[in-house]
A = this chain, B = another copy of it.
Amino acid sequence: MTTATATKYVFSFGDGKADGGATMKNELGGKGANLAEMTSIGLPVPAGFTISTGVCTYYYDNGETYPEQLRDDVAAALEKIEKAMGAKFGCTENPLLLSCRSGARESMPGMMDTVLNIGLNDTTVAALAKKSGNEQFAWDSYRRFVQMYGDVVLEMKTLDKKEIDPFEHLLEVKKEAEGVEFDSGLSAAGLKELVREFKAAIKERTGNDFPDEPLDQLWGAIGAVFSSWMNDRAMVYRRQYGIPHEWGTAVNVQAMVFGNLSDDSASGVGLTRDCSLGEPGFRGDYLINAQGEDVVAGIRSTKRVEESLHDDMPAAFDRLNEIGKILEKHYKDVQDIEFTVQHGQVWMLQTRNAKRTGFAAVRIAVDLVNEGLIDPKEALNPRRIPADDLNQLLQPIFDPDAKAAADAEGRLLTKGINAGPGATYGKICFHAEDAEAQYNADNDVQLILVRRETSPEDLRGMQAAKGILTAFGGASSHAALVSRQMGKVCIVGATELDIDYQAGTMSVGGKSFNEGDYISIDGFTGEVFEGSVTTKPSEVLDVVIHKAGDPEKSETYKRYAQLMEWVDEHRTLNVRTNADSPEQAAEAIAFGAEGIGLCRTEHMFFHHVDEIREMILAETKEVRQKAIDKLLPYQRSDFEGLFRAMEGRPVTVRLLDPPLHEFLSERHLEEDPALAGQLAKMTGKSQEEIHRRVEGLHESNPMLGHRGCRLGIVYPEITAMQARAIMEAACAVKKEGIDVHPEIMIPLVGFLAEFKDQEKIVRAQAEAVMAETGQKVEYMVGTMIEVPRAAVCADQIATGAEFFSFGTNDLTQTALGISRDDYGGFIGYYREHDIVPNDPFQTIDFDGVGGLMKIGVEGGRSSRKDLKIGICGEHGGDPASVKFCHSIGLNYVSCSPFRVPIARLAAAQAAVSQG
């Protein structure tokens, strides 16, 4: 007879030995793996065993049943606990009590179920009372067990959600009867009665007797924990944090230790160093004579380990500090622990890597390197500093006390989508022009521009405001995109806001605000507050951008600088910025940008909208040329500023991209009744002709309309003017002794013939300008890859284009057939129902858009081996997308200035995790 090797489902730990260890999180969950690990390295852990996540998978794949061998395995593991603890489960003399806890690969605090004190019944409780010499403790433990088991396993709470909790009700009645304030004040007799009443309530509700048999209790608890993996709140949590439903949870069964046994017992939680700002030193909370749940319940005020434990329990205090050091040394990271002190002895119930703020993450990673615990490469591990969290070091923040006060005072108005990080406050302003005017009158004015949505004409008003708040739009809306580029605090899609431009009011939750009223917005969280909440700038921002702080004196800056040094040593991907002005370029360089990946020339155009409109209304080439000629000096001077600011770094300039109706549409004529008359006067046409021409510009799907190179092809004069402006600026700046590397980018190319048409015009201008000025400038002509055809035909296009830049905003829209202006109607539903794994406008859709990018990279490099390829979509600042770009061999990513450090860190993390 042959026997198949049985799968191992149950892993014991105790007595300094363990079947598992820290590397086995996938099988044992985080808690189980670390209980085993702590046992192995000699730390005091109550004996126990872990039922693997494989059983959870089996459980759901097989109609909520267990593998056949599980019962025997659990029995064997139980025996080991009994041996290690010197007590017996269900024994009427020396009963062993057990806890049963969930434990997934990733911590999901509070989402799943726990049952404590398993093994108590009317006989074992007596033994416990006798053994502990504390009848009140024994019956309180019994009372807690019946209540917890009733709620979690027998689902008393969920049977009828509308009714009051029967247990809590009985407890209240009892406390009133005995005249005590806390549960802990109840007498043993009262507790005995409560247990009887609880059991009666259970019988009445469920029709069944409470299970007295300890083994039945244990299996009931195990089943409840597995079931809780699929409860609603756990599913919502996993969706939010991207945890796959397939992972499953493990179940940890462990001998009980009691912090509520006596006054030399306690329960507590702690961190091996501070996780808010990252300062070293053990800190935590504890309660004397209490169970763990009491510490987190917040009924009794906890005490601080670092303040009073040394006096309360000196031996336990020393032991905890010692354990903290052992753990940090062993895990090479800050630990978040749970402990129980039973009659003065410390027991460890949990350890895990601690969650921390971005501030703390950077400090701790740098400190651990300096303490010799890890090397710089390990400091870059994305687990230690999620690249996005670096943001927190760069943005002004709400003063934590002021924010807590605002919360407490109920000043939180609503929550939108956090689109531009940072915090700020200011006076409500509904119109961009007003914001600009107020700013011009007083450069220090604190304004929040509040709009239903923003449009390109609002640019200067947005620049003038401290923050932007919109009622509509998503994380990729105009407001969000521009704010991130400008580094403005921004919240979009705060749909509860009711904005009435006419009345000049904003209403939310029954409150109404007028222009000039103060509000505060937190771009980290999306929260909008009434009144002002004071802020403070981050130290890093002070040094890097405002050049205000002294870099030598700022510890935060020094650690940031140290980290970024390691970042640049490890990354291979270049990081550029999307910038349209010298100011943005300078900021980006301060943040470490190595070039401009996208300069959008149309942003400059919005400053000279009269000339653009004249050009649009022209009916002959001659009139058009005349209007365009007026724009040349403006463009040239804009480019000169940019080239100077970039000091020889490459600058990718995209030729005009948006459809002409962005500059002149029926909406413009409606909003400004005088405009048609002005335009008629300017062009010598009738107002009717103006209206007709503007009507003719209307498009059903502007995203797929007459824009990008399609403009430059039909109106070659525009391309010629832009190419000339770029090259005249380049030659002028070069003459000043500053090196220039313009990369002229043709947008929206789908066909090689489109590229060649535009390239010819660009090169003709470039050669002419260089001949005129006698300057020689190295320039390149390349293209955006932003429609699927360009990716599929990249081999053809690369025969002409000298570089590619993936425009993943438009590529996502076209590849998915989803307009980011219109996806509000379904994207929320899609995310909630797991139809898309991410918002594809935040993180690249790896399979679809990413698949096209791969085809584009392979095709492009098949025709031009050394083709320089970058990305200039908003995704260039998203860490997961940066990692993807690294993996498919791009040369650089380009993102808004304030995301440059994040992209640098993400690029280093991609390189490190690949190596």
Contacts and interface: CB of A to CB of B under 8 A. Distances in A.
Given A710-B826, A826-B714, A848 B788 contact: yes
Contacts of A848: 750-751, 788-789, 792-793
A817 B748 contact: yes
Contacts of A816: 750, 787-789
Interface in A762-786: 786
Interface string A801-819: 0000000001001111111
A508 interface: no
A793 B700 contact: no
A837 to B, nearest CB: 9
Pick from A714, A814, A834 the residue with the most CB of B within 10 Å: A814
B819 A751 contact: no
Contacts of A813: 701, 704
A849 interface: yes
Interface in A687-712: 699-706, 708, 710
Nearest to A791: B788
A822 interface: yes
A821 interface: yes
Determine how many copies of this chain the complex contains: 2
Contacts of A82: none
Nearest to A818: B704
B706 A835 contact: no
A97 to B, nearest CB: 45
A665 to B, nearest CB: 12
Interface string A570-598: 00000000000000000000000000000
- Which interface residue of A713, A787, A788, A833 has the most chain B CB atoms within 10 A? A788
Contacts of A713: 826, 829-830, 833, 835
A792 B788 CA distance: 10
B700 A702 contact: yes
Contacts of A750: 816-818, 848
Contacts of A825: 705-706, 710, 714
A753 interface: yes
A757 B832 CA distance: 13
Contact of A810 (B788, B817, B836, B855): B817
A517 B196 CA distance: 97
Interface in A315-368: none
A796 interface: yes
A704 B701 contact: yes
A55 interface: no
Given A713-B830, A754-B835, A822 B789 contact: no
- Residue of A748, A847, A855 with most partner-chain B CB within 10 A: A847
A852 interface: yes
| Interface band, chain A | 35 or more
A817 B786 contact: yes
A314 interface: no
A851 interface: yes
Contacts of A787: 815-817
A757 B835 contact: yes
A37 interface: no
A825 B616 CA distance: 13
Interface string A826-854: 10011001111000000001011101100
B836 A753 contact: yes
Contacts of A789: 815-817, 845, 847-849, 851
A834 B814 CA distance: 24
Contact of A714 (B821, B829, B845): B829
A823 B819 CA distance: 18
A819 to B, nearest CB: 4
A793 B835 CA distance: 15
Contact of A792 (B700, B830, B851): B851
A851 B793 contact: yes
A62 to B, nearest CB: 21
Nearest to A660: B825
Given A817-B750, A817-B787, A792 B852 contact: yes
Contacts of A810: 817
A849 B790 CA distance: 11
A794 to B, nearest CB: 10
Contacts of A786: 817
Interface in A720-755: 748, 750-751, 753-754
16 contacts: A699-B819, A700-B821, A704-B817, A706-B823, A713-B830, A713-B833, A714-B826, A753-B836, A757-B833, A787-B817, A788-B814, A792-B847, A792-B848, A792-B851, A793-B848, A796-B847
Q: Top 4 A-B pairs ranked by shortest CB distance?
A: A789-B848, A704-B819, A787-B817, A788-B788
Given A705-B822, A714-B829, A789-B815, 18 more contacts: A699-B819, A700-B822, A701-B819, A701-B822, A703-B817, A703-B819, A704-B819, A705-B823, A706-B822, A710-B825, A750-B848, A787-B815, A787-B817, A788-B817, A788-B852, A789-B847, A792-B815, A792-B847
